[in-house]
Structure 1
C-alpha cells in the first residue's frame, strides 16, 4: 500500500503517467490505420502533464502574477486547439519533468537540514528516584540527570557531572575526531557517544538545544532570498508579459499561430528562475555540513564581496584563557617555586582577573596555598597589597612599588619591560621591602591563527585588521605572531564601531569577527558579523550573519571561499540560462526550431544549471593555496613554538 501511495503521490508520478500515454500514442499510430486513437492518447498525455501547470498558472493569475506556468498553459492549450497534439504533449511533459527534477534537486541540496533533523535524538535515559527510565527526549526537564552510554545520542544540552567518554560532535561543530568529555564539560544534543559513560545534567531541552537552533537557522537561511534572486523575481514580472506580447504580435503579423505559440514556449525562462535558488540552497547546505551557519542568501552574496576582515584579539586570535608564561627570580635567596608561591598566596584573596591564572599555575607546580591572606587590599590601577604569614606581599606594576617606596627596582623595571615588549603582562612580586621576582602571564595565541590569516589572503581578502582593547605592546606581539596587516589597540567597544565605519567609508566590504558581547556594536555595523565558537550560544546563533560552530578559525576563510564559489556559480547559471533563451528565440524567428525541439533544449539547459549548482555540495579540502602562504605560516609557528 505504501509503495502504491508513493507512486500515486510522488513527484515523478505526473511525468511518468504522461510519458507512458505519449509512448502509447506512438505505438497506436504504428499499429492502427487511423490516427484517432493515437491522438486521444497524446491529448490525454498533455492533459495529465498540463493540468498541474494550468492550475498553477490560474492561481498565479488570480494573484495578479503573470508567471511561466501561464505561458506554458496558453501555448499547450493553443497547440491542442490547432491540432498540434504532439507539441502540446511534448511541452507539458518536458515542463513536468523539469519541475520534478527541480524539486528533487532542491530536496537534495537541503540534505544538510535533513541530516541535522536525522541526528536529533528520540529517547533519553533519565534517573528517576534512583532508577533508569527511558522517556521521549522532548519530555526531559531542565535539571534532570541524563545517562549517556556508549553508542547513544546525547538527548539534551547539558553539563557532565560525572563519568568520562568521547563524543562525536561532527553534527554540531564539524570536528571530525571524538572529543573527550569529563566532569564540568559541556555537551550538545545530537552528538554521539563513541565510548565511556556520562552523567549529564540537562541545561537545554527540546527547542532550546543547540541542535534545534541550528536546524531553525538553516531552515530560515535556505528560504531567504538573495539580492540577485529578488532582482530575478522583479525581472520575471515584466519579462513574462513581454514574451506574451511578442508572441501575440508575431502571430498577428505573420498569420502563423504556431509561431506565436512556439515563441511562448521557447521564451519560458525556467533555467533562469531556478539558477539562483538552487545555487543558494546548495551553498548554504554545504556550509551547514561544514559547521558554518549562514543567515541567508543575502549574507551569502555579501560574504563573496568581503575584502577586509576585522578580528577581535581575545578569544579569536588568542584562546581567551591567560597562562603563566614566565617566572624571573630577582632575589638570590629564593627559587622559582618560592616566588610563584608568594604570588599565589597574595592572589588568593584577590578579585583580579589574572588571580586564577597565578593560583592554577602554582597548584600545577606543586606550590602549597592554604586559605586566604590575613588581609588583602586592592590598589586600583596598580595591583594588590596582601598580608600572609605575617609578611607584606606586593604584586602589581612599577607604580605600586613606587607608592610603597621600594628600593632597587631597576632589575624589575628591565625585566617587566622586556616581558611587555614580548606581549606578556608582567606582575612584579615584592615581599616586605625586597623585590623577589617578576611573573608574567599571556593569552596564548591560537596555533591556527597565522594559518587563518594566510588563508584569508589566499581567499582574496586584501587586509586583516586586529581590533583590540588590549595594550599596544601586547597587540603588536600577537599581530607579529599571526601576520595581520594592521593593528588598532587600546579600543573601547565604541572605538571598534568607529574603526569598522571608517573601513566602510573607504569603500571596503567589512566582516567583523568577535565573541558577540563587547564586540556587539562592531558586529552589528559590519557588512557581515561573524560569531566564533557559536555552539551552545543562543545569542550568537540568532544574531550573527555567519556563525562558526565550534572553535575552528579556518572555518572563516572556508566560508568566504564558499560564498565566492556560490556567487560565481549563480552568475554562470544566469549566463547559461539567458544565452539559451536568446539563441532559441532567434532560432524560432529565423526558422528551424520547433516547439518540441525548443522545449527539449530548454529542459536540457535546466538540467545543466542544476548540475552546475550541485557541484557546490562537494566538500573541498581547505589549505593555503600558495607555497608562500604555507611557508609564512610555518615560519610564524616556529617563532611561537
Structure 2
C-alpha cells in the first residue's frame, strides 16, 4: 500500500489529485454501506489521500507566513472530527475541499512560451563591411556607426538607416502592417524586421539592448506585471471565517458542555460550497466558451472580462482579412479601357513576389475564372519600386509613381485628381505604364471581415465601447472606423503606443479587453486586463501572450463572450450567497443540537451539489437574440 501511494505521488499534480479523489470517493461510498464490515473505517482513505495534503498546506502557510486560508478551518474540523470518532464526517469534508482545490487548479494560467518565441526572433548574426571586405559577426558585436549589409530574406540585425540600395521591408513584427514598406537611402530600418527583396547597406544607430527588438521583448516581459490576479473568496474571507467558527464552537461547548455540538459547528462551517462557488462556475463558463470557439488560457480571464468597459481592436488581420485586394482600376489613356489596364497589370505582376503584385494576379484570376493570365516575358523585379515585363508585346511598368518618374514617363494631371479619393480611403496605388506612356492605376486595400460590422454592433449592445488601435496610417484607420461605426480610433500606433493607450485608459478606471492577431500586439494583449488573440490567423506569440484565443477567428462570438462573463459573475454571486446562508442556517441547527457531525457533513455536501448544479447551467447559456 505504501509503495502504491509513493508511486502515485510521483505522478504529475493533476493526475495524482484525480486518482486520489476517485479512491476517496469510492471509500466514502463504501463507508455509507456498513463501515463495520472492514477492519479499518473506509473513510480513513479519504482522510489520508485528501485530508493530509490540506493539513500540510495549512501548517506550512501558518508557520512560514502566518497565512490563514480556508484550509486552516478545514484542518481544525478534520482534527476535531477524528478526535471524537466522526471518521466519515472528516473524510467527507476532506473530499469536498480537495475537489474544489482540483477545480481551481484546472483553471489556473498555463505556462506560456511567448517570450521564448520572441527571443528566437532576435537576429543572431550580421554582415559587417570593413576595408578588408565583408565579415560575419555576432549581432551582439555590432557597434554604433558600423556599416552593415542585409541580403534578401535576412532579418535586420540592429536599428539604423539605409546608406545604399532599394528594398521592401516586412515590418509586421513592429507595426502589424500587412504590406511591406518600400525603403531607400536615408530611410530608417528596425531590428527584427525582414528584408524581402533587394539588398542594402546600412549604418548602425541603436545596437544591443537599445535596439527595437530588445526594447520590444522587455515590453512583453513587463506588460502584465500590474495585471491583478483574483484571489479565491474563501481564502480572502478565511481569517473571519476561522475566528467566527472557533468562537461559535467554543461558546457552544462552554454553554452546553457538549463537545459534539462544537465539532458539528466546525464541520458545517467548513467553506466547501464557498470554495466550489467560483471554480465550478468558471469551469462551466469555460466549457460554454469552448463550444463557441474560444480557448480560455487563463483561469480567471472570464472573471476579469466581466468588468471591462472598452474593447480595443487591432485592424490588420483582426477587423480586416490581412491581405490586400484590388478595389478599383482606372484608365488614364482614352485609347485603353480599364479592363485592358487590369489585364496588363495582372500579366506584369504574374511572377511578382511582392504581396501587392500577388494580390493583383490573384484578384484577376478570381474575377476571370478559367481564363489564363496574359503571358509575360523579360520579367524583372525592381526592389522598392515595382516590376517590369513584356506583356502581349507591350513594355509594361507597374509600381510606385516614383518608378514612372525615374523612367521619365510623364504623369497626366488626372492621375493625382482621380487617385485622391482612393488615397483618402487608405488605399495603396500601383501605377501602370505601357510602351513609355502612363496607362492607368490600380487601388488596393485590405478588406474588412464580413462579420466585423456585426461584431461591433454586438459589442456596443453589450454595453462596451469599441476602440480601434492600428499601426496603419490615418486615412486607412479613419476609413475602417467610419465603415464599422467605431467611435474612437488611433492610427500610426507602434507596440509601445498601444501599450501606453491601454495603460492610460486603465489608470483612468476604464478596464480594457484587447483583441489582436500579430506579433506587434503581444505587449498590448498582456497589458490589457484581458487579451483575446485571433488563434486561426494570429501569430503563435500573440496567442501565447493572450488570456483567450479565438480558435476559428469568428469575431461574431465576441459579444457572446462578454455576456457570458457577466452571467458567470452573477452565478458566482448567487452561489456565494446561497452557500453562506446555508452555512449559517446549519450553524444554528448545530448549536441547538439538531445536527450531529455526520448529518452536518451531509447537509453542506448537499449545498455543494446545489452549487455545482447551478454552475452547470452556464454550459447552456446563450443570450436571447444572439
Q: Do Structure 1 and Structure 2 share a fold, with TM-score over 0.5? A: yes
The 2-side partners of 1:413 and 1:262 are apart by 87
* 1:297-327 deviation per Cα after TM superposition (whole angstroms, max 9, x unaligned): 2323222222111111111111112112222
The alignment of Structure 1 onto Structure 2 pairs a total of residues equal to 477
For the structure 1 residues 227 and 517, does the alpha-carbon distance in structure 2 shift closer, same or farther, using more than 3 Å as the test?
Answer: closer
For 1:279, the equivalent position in structure 2 comes to 281
Q: 1:567: how far off?
A: 2.4
Conserved 8 A contact 2:100-2:272: no
**Higher relative contact order, structure no. (Cα contacts within 8 Å, ≥ 6 residues apart):** 2
> Quick check: 1:436 aligned with 2:449?
no
Structure 1 residue ranges without an equivalent (≥5): 1-5, 25-39, 81-87, 114-225, 626-641
Q: 1:547: how far off?
A: 1.1
For 1:610, the equivalent position in structure 2 comes to 612
Q: 1:505: how far off?
A: 2.9
The 2-side partners of 1:488 and 1:60 are apart by 49
The 2-side partners of 1:63 and 1:527 are apart by 32
TM-score, normalising length: structure 1: 0.64
The 2-side partners of 1:262 and 1:362 are apart by 79
The 1-side partners of 2:293 and 2:563 are apart by 14
For the structure 1 residues 293 and 78, does the alpha-carbon distance in structure 2 shift closer, same or farther, using more than 3 Å as the test?
Answer: same
For 1:559, the equivalent position in structure 2 comes to 561
For 2:463, the equivalent position in structure 1 comes to 460
Q: Work out which of the residue numbers 11, 26, 33 in structure 2 matches 1:13.
A: 26
Give the match's secondary structure for 1:512: strand
Q: CA RMSD in A?
A: 4.1
Conserved 8 A contact 1:451-1:624: no
TM-score, normalising length: structure 2: 0.65
For 1:131, the equivalent position in structure 2 comes to none
Q: 1:532: how far off?
A: 0.4
> Quick check: 1:333 aligned with 2:335?
yes
The 2-side partners of 1:496 and 1:102 are apart by 38
* 1:609-631 deviation per Cα after TM superposition (whole angstroms, max 9, x unaligned): 1111111222x446765xxxxxx
For 1:181, the equivalent position in structure 2 comes to none
For the structure 1 residues 373 and 498, does the alpha-carbon distance in structure 2 shift closer, same or farther, using more than 3 Å as the test?
Answer: farther
Q: 1:496: how far off?
A: 2.5
For 2:451, the equivalent position in structure 1 comes to 448
The 2-side partners of 1:363 and 1:54 are apart by 69
For 2:358, the equivalent position in structure 1 comes to 356
| Worse-superposed segment, 510-519 or 390-399 | 390-399
For 1:415, the equivalent position in structure 2 comes to 418
| Worse-superposed segment, 308-317 or 291-300 | 291-300
The 1-side partners of 2:231 and 2:288 are apart by 19
Structure 2 residue ranges without an equivalent (≥5): 1-18, 63-70, 111-227
* 1:91-144 deviation per Cα after TM superposition (whole angstroms, max 9, x unaligned): 4586588579879x969x99xx9xxxxxxxxxxxxxxxxxxxxxxxxxxxxxxx
For the structure 1 residues 517 and 261, does the alpha-carbon distance in structure 2 shift closer, same or farther, using more than 3 Å as the test?
Answer: closer
For 2:245, the equivalent position in structure 1 comes to 243
Give the match's secondary structure for 1:297: coil
The 2-side partners of 1:409 and 1:491 are apart by 35
Equivalent positions of 1:107-118 (< 5 A) are none
Conserved 8 A contact 1:348-1:373: no
The 2-side partners of 1:53 and 1:391 are apart by 83
The 2-side partners of 1:51 and 1:435 are apart by 86
The 2-side partners of 1:51 and 1:385 are apart by 76
For the structure 1 residues 67 and 544, does the alpha-carbon distance in structure 2 shift closer, same or farther, using more than 3 Å as the test?
Answer: same
Q: 1:597: how far off?
A: 5.3
